[in-house]
């Protein structure tokens, strides 16, 4: 049993992670400011004697005596992260800085969740971890994309300078039950529209691609990455002391096909409208997961069709909440 | 007469800027922590009744009642910025944040000096302001390159969100008298080696290029950029509320030629050795200054040969200090 801190633990991924860690009999402290997350995601955990919820904003320093820190806290959907771009950048930078400080002070291992958005609108396909990315530093998405990049830069510099044990997961679109229905992300957005008999909104022509990873696969990878022993051989093979690993499902889909699949899952009746593509929207996104396979012995197990079926079923049983 | 704050005012560019602003009869407050700069750079200004030096680290909040803020403070040479990479990132982020907060609180206009390093190892040549760059987010240079990029992201988000009047200068290699001799930058490094009858060290084969802008031209551009009126027409033509402008001299030179020129200036006797190219070193760098010409009516006036002659003469008269 370890003492584990999960920042952003009341978010979509965070709440699944907390649940999994509790099943593994760990003592879990969940830190969250509930800005883009919800206490509903963790309500079923509140009575667990090994679980504690602390309402705290990671932009302010924090200190918990733990063995492991999973740092997930950051608004991750454009609807939230563009609401207050300055705060998004501050959360990405100060939040990561405070997580590093906490890990340094306690000697805890730290896992930081980064994102495929660090690749921007990629010119390499699929994206490998060594690819430097193609990000607009001053565009509408830069508060998040550049915020996540500086978080990585800081973490690597920090680990070199202070020896803190850090690992970074670059998450590609993760989906599943408990994703906020109203935060504008693709799959919940389509499902919500379909449930309300509204047309599904496709931005652009729908030929742009994303790769969707089911939540249980993502959580599995995160835990494996936390448990990875960072040896000096590993460090020298990577060239930096911090393993950076793509976590995603390489099963790449066109947005228009996802829309059709959701309409089909609801019986085949539905319609689609097109809206202009937002500026700097990535045209394609697919992880190269060679490194995850090699270093973590991980690859996704839940197929797209199974994952979508589970997700749709969960929303149907819950309704519009 | 305006009240002007110059952060990093005891640095190479900062001290020239302070001097110029004092000549223009402004009241100048120079803020500096003297980490990579020196009081020697501003000693001749200390008796000027319109000048004040305040020793302060921009990572800590500051507030001065001024009309204009030139935010230059940040170690800018690899020797200094790689000494403490975490502190470099913090200076880039927190320093810019504190400068923005100061400008917001006082209503001052803010000019932020960014760098051609935001383009990384560019795949576009010459570099235009709209180019997104090619930067390694986790390499040895990333503390500076990504630090400067997040400074820009934050400034643009901040200006959108709070209406603060911000402008950003992307400076390409600036040189001239008063550059620190020992900070490892190319021109002073070559001159120092030549003055000591040591071989000049060229990293790599010397075919990589840089574009050098003489200090008086850089200062001229900064002042013109500060005085630029940011109209709504300008904003909409740029697509963002913050003008971002390359400041540099497009007269591109190969490193090996710079070495030969310096040896020639000292009479033609000298020798050259080669050392391995540092990781992620940019292969070419040349500003497209179309925007500076159009918007500021600025272009460099001091030729490479005149600038080098002045620089060499100043070091020869000063010796090895």
Interface of B with A (CB under 8 A): 84-86, 88-90, 93, 97, 118, 120, 132-138, 142-143, 146-147, 149-150, 152-154, 156-158, 160-162, 240, 242, 244
Task: At B20, list the tokens.
Answer: 């110029």
Domain extent, residue B292, equals: 3-179+212-250+286-302
Instruction: Examine residue B206 and state whether it is found in any structural domain, yes or no.
Output: no
Distance from CA of B85 to the nearest CA of A (A): 6
| pLDDT in the model for residue A296 | 98
Contact (Cβ atoms closer than 8 angstroms) between residue A11 and residue A37: yes
Instruction: Examine residue A260 and state whether it is found in any structural domain, yes or no.
Output: no
Q: Say yes or no to pLDDT of A163 above 90.
A: yes
Q: Say yes or no to pLDDT of B172 above 90.
A: yes
Contact (Cβ atoms closer than 8 angstroms) between residue A35 and residue A84: no
Q: What is the pLDDT of residues B85-136, one digit of tens each?
A: 999 999 999 999 999 999 999 999 999 999 999 999 999 999 999 999 999 9
Residue of B nearest to A135 (CA): B132
Closest residue by Cα to residue B100 from B110, B86, B115: B110
Conformation bin of residue B89: beta by default, left when phi > 0, alpha when psi is -120 to 50 = alpha
| pLDDT in the model for residue B300 | 98
Which regions of A44-162 does DSSP assign to beta strands (E)?
51-55, 68-71, 109-115
Q: Out of B135, B138, B153, whose CB is closest to A240?
A: B138
Conformation bin of residue B268: beta by default, left when phi > 0, alpha when psi is -120 to 50 = left
Q: Compute the count of residue pairs across chains A and B with CB atoms less than 8 Å apart.
A: 92
Q: Chain A residues with CB inside 8 Å of B101's CB? A: none
- Taking an 8 Å cut-off on Cβ atoms, the answer to whether A85 and B157 are in contact is yes
Q: Chain B residues with CB inside 8 Å of A120's CB? A: 132
Distance from CA of A195 to the nearest CA of B (A): 35
- Taking an 8 Å cut-off on Cβ atoms, the answer to whether B138 and A153 are in contact is yes
Residue of A nearest to B119 (CA): A137
Q: Out of A89, A162, A240, whose CB is closest to B157?
A: A89
Instruction: Examine residue A312 and state whether it is found in any structural domain, yes or no.
Output: no
Query: B64: helix, coil or strand?
Result: coil
Q: Chain B residues with CB inside 8 Å of A157's CB? A: 85-86, 88-89, 142-143
Across chain A, mean pLDDT equals 96
- If you write DSSP's letter for every residue of B99-127 in order, what string do you get? HHHHHHHHT-EEEEEEEGGGGBS-SSSSB
Confidence bin at B170 (pLDDT 50/70/90): very high
Q: Chain B residues with CB inside 8 Å of A138's CB? A: 152-153, 156, 240, 242, 244
Q: Say yes or no to pLDDT of A279 above 90.
A: no
Q: Out of B134, B147, B149, whose CB is closest to A132?
A: B134
> For residue B21, how far is the Cα from the chain centroid?
17
Distance from CA of B130 to the nearest CA of A (A): 8
Q: What is the pLDDT of residues B196-234, one digit of tens each?
A: 999 999 999 999 999 999 999 999 999 999 999 999 999
Mean pLDDT across B140-146 = 96
Q: Chain A residues with CB inside 8 Å of B243's CB? A: none
Radius of gyration of chain A (CA): 19
Confidence bin at A79 (pLDDT 50/70/90): confident
What is the number of domains present in chain B?
A: 1
How far apart are the C-alpha atoms of A56 and A31, rounded to whole Å?
6
Instruction: Examine residue A275 and state whether it is found in any structural domain, yes or no.
Output: no
Question: What CATH number does residue B233 fall under?
Answer: 3.40.50.720
Q: Which of B144, B175, B304, B315 is catalytic?
A: B144
Q: What one-character DSSP code corresponds to residue A277?
A: P
- Taking an 8 Å cut-off on Cβ atoms, the answer to whether A137 and B132 are in contact is yes
Conformation bin of residue A163: beta by default, left when phi > 0, alpha when psi is -120 to 50 = left
CA dihedral A265→A266→A267→A270, nearest 10 degrees, is: -110
- Taking an 8 Å cut-off on Cβ atoms, the answer to whether B85 and A160 are in contact is yes
Q: Say yes or no to pLDDT of B79 above 70.
A: yes
Contact (Cβ atoms closer than 8 angstroms) between residue B60 and residue B90: no
Q: Say yes or no to pLDDT of A320 above 80.
A: no
Mutate to test the interface with A, among B104, B139, B153, B245 (most CBs of A within 10 A): B153
Q: Say yes or no to pLDDT of B308 above 80.
A: yes
Confidence bin at A280 (pLDDT 50/70/90): confident
Residue of A nearest to B133 (CA): A134
- Taking an 8 Å cut-off on Cβ atoms, the answer to whether B147 and A153 are in contact is yes
User: What is the pTM assigned to this prediction?
Assistant: 0.96
Task: At B278, list the tokens.
Answer: 């540092």
- Taking an 8 Å cut-off on Cβ atoms, the answer to whether B153 and A134 are in contact is no
Instruction: Examine residue B193 and state whether it is found in any structural domain, yes or no.
Output: no
- Taking an 8 Å cut-off on Cβ atoms, the answer to whether B150 and A152 are in contact is no
- Taking an 8 Å cut-off on Cβ atoms, the answer to whether B86 and A157 are in contact is yes
Q: Chain A residues with CB inside 8 Å of B133's CB? A: 135, 137
How far apart are the C-alpha atoms of B178 and B180, rounded to whole Å?
6
Mutate to test the interface with B, among A153, A161, A167, A245 (most CBs of B within 10 A): A153
Q: Which of A144, A175, A214, A304 is catalytic?
A: A144
Q: Out of B89, B133, B150, whose CB is closest to A157?
A: B89
Q: Chain B residues with CB inside 8 Å of A241's CB? A: none
Q: Say yes or no to pLDDT of A321 above 80.
A: no
Q: Out of B86, B133, B158, whose CB is closest to A137?
A: B133
Task: At B191, list the tokens.
Answer: 């001159």
| pLDDT in the model for residue B321 | 52
Q: What is the pLDDT of residues B275-299, one digit of tens each?
A: 999 888 899 999 999 999 999 999 9
> Among A152-156, B17-21, B267-271, which stretch is predicted with the lowest mean pLDDT?
B267-271
The residue with tokens 């190479």 is B12
Active site residue B144: yes
Residue of A nearest to B120 (CA): A132
Q: Chain B residues with CB inside 8 Å of A86's CB? A: 154, 157-158, 161-162
Confidence bin at A80 (pLDDT 50/70/90): confident
Q: Chain B residues with CB inside 8 Å of A140's CB? A: none
Instruction: Examine residue A204 and state whether it is found in any structural domain, yes or no.
Output: no
Mutate to test the interface with B, among A83, A115, A157 (most CBs of B within 10 A): A157
Instruction: Examine residue B269 and state whether it is found in any structural domain, yes or no.
Output: no
For strand A51-55 and strand A68-71, is the pairing parallel, antiparallel, or unpaired?
A: unpaired
Instruction: Examine residue A185 and state whether it is found in any structural domain, yes or no.
Output: no
Closest residue by Cα to residue A10 from A74, A63, A60, A69: A74
CA dihedral A63→A65→A71→A73, nearest 10 degrees, is: -50
């Amino acid at each position: 049993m370890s003492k584990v801190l999960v920042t952003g633990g009341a978010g979509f991924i965070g709440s699944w992670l907390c649940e999994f860690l509790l099943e593994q009999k760990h003592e879990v402290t969940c830190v969250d400011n509930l800005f883009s997350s919800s206490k509903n995601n963790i309500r079923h955990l509140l009575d667990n004697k090994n679980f504690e919820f602390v309402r705290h904003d990671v932009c302010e320093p924090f200190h918990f005596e733990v063995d492991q820190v999973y740092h997930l806290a950051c608004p991750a959907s454009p609807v939230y992260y563009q609401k207050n771009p300055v705060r998004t950048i501050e959360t990405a930078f100060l939040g990561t800085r405070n997580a590093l400080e906490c890990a340094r002070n306690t000697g805890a291992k730290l896992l930081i969740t980064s994102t495929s958005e660090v690749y921007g609108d990629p010119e390499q396909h699929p994206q490998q971890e060594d690819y430097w990315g193609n990000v607009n530093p001053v565009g509408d998405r830069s508060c998040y994309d550049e915020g996540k990049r500086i978080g990585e830069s800081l973490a690597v510099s920090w680990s070199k300078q202070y020896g803190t044990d850090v690992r970074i997961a670059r998450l590609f679109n993760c989906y599943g039950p408990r994703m906020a229905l109203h935060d504008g992300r693709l799959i919940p957005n389509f499902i919500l529209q379909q449930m309300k008999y509204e047309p599904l909104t496709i931005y652009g022509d729908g030929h742009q691609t994303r790769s969707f990873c089911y939540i249980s696969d993502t959580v599995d990878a995160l835990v494996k990455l936390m448990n990875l022993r960072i040896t000096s051989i590993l460090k020298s093979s990577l060239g930096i002391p911090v393993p950076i690993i793509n976590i995603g499902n390489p099963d790449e889909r066109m947005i228009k096909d996802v829309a059709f699949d959701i309409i089909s899952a609801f019986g085949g009746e539905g319609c689609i409208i097109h809206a202009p593509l937002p500026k700097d929207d990535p045209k394609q996104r697919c992880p190269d997961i060679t490194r995850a396979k090699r270093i973590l012995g991980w690859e996704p197990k839940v197929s797209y069709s199974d994952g979508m079926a589970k997700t749709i079923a969960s929303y149907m049983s819950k309704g519009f909440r």
